Amino acid sequence: MGNSIYSDSNSRYNPKMANKGRALEELIIYQNELYKSKGIANIQKISTPWKVIRSGKNIISAFPEEKSTVDFRGTAIGGISVSFDAKESEDINGLPLKYIEPHQIDYIRDALPLGEYSFIVCNIIPTRKYYVIDGHMVIEYWDRWQANKGKRGYNIIPSEAMLTILQTVGNVCDYLSIALAR
């Protein structure tokens, strides 16, 4: 393939991980359009700036320039500030904490005391179920994991601790019904 991002062994690009979570993000983007059209919320996907390395006209590598915050931010009806990240898990038991980046934890930790509703939307792929994990719960499980590194049973947020997103008529992934009911 020559000088492409697919063959550069020094690149941080991983074809297996390139589109991980993209289907969930697209579903959320569609749901956000529904919220906006109904006057419920205005929530946008936050872009991550990428550094592209070129050799002439060929792209040889690409990687994030800086740490992002979370995937989505916006405002819901009533002036409620909302921020969240989208995560997918192949683990039927829940969301492995290693899927959450430390800078995302920092963002959630800083947002919560300001009254922002910060959380994770999680798709447990084998069950085809969607969940909301409240930011306080995310921090609780993260801190417990950090304090017990290497010990069994601390590395996951179990699906039983998550709030199930119910599929409703006219909504494909109505995460705000949980967020606004808090």
Note the pLDDT tens digit of each residue in 12-55. 333 344 455 688 999 999 999 999 999 999 999 987 666 677 77
| List of domains in the chain | 22-48+67-179 (3.40.1350.10)
Condensed to tens digits (0 to 9), the pLDDT of residues 135-163 reads: 999 999 999 999 998 888 899 999 999 99
For residue range 81-117, list pLDDT tens digits in order. 999 999 999 999 999 999 999 999 999 999 999 999 9
Per-residue model confidence (pLDDT) at position 12: 39
Measure CA 148 to chain center. 24
- Give the model's pLDDT for residue 22: 81
